[in-house]
């Protein structure tokens, strides 16, 4: 029997965990950048804050999660 991300039969396949870690590393920065682009026409200052948050999150997550991998 298998689950969505991790195989339950003990075969040593860590592909699902690697995909999950990569999704945690790059998922939120992509979401923050999309929100920034959505706010760009209405409020440039808020959009700039979201872009900076996305960049900082990406740098930190690549450092922490990248070192775990």
Q: What is the pTM of this model?
A: 0.71
For 15-59, write each residue's pLDDT tens digit: 778 888 888 888 999 999 999 999 999 999 999 999 999 999 998
Residues whose CB is less than 8 angstroms from the CB of residue 25 and which lie 6 or more positions away in sequence, other chains included: 58, 61, 62, 65, 66
* Better-predicted residue by pLDDT, 8 or 29: 29
Indicate the pLDDT class of residue 2, thresholds 50, 70 and 90: low
Q: Give the pLDDT of residue 28.
A: 93
């Amino acid at each position: 029997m298998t689950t969505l991300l991790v195989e339950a039969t003990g075969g040593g396949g860590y592909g699902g965990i690697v995909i999950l870690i990569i999704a945690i590393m790059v998922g939120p920065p992509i979401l923050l950048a999309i929100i920034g682009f959505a706010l760009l026409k209405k409020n440039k200052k808020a959009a700039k804050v979201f872009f900076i948050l996305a960049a900082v999150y990406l740098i930190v997550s690549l450092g922490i999660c990248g070192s775990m991998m």
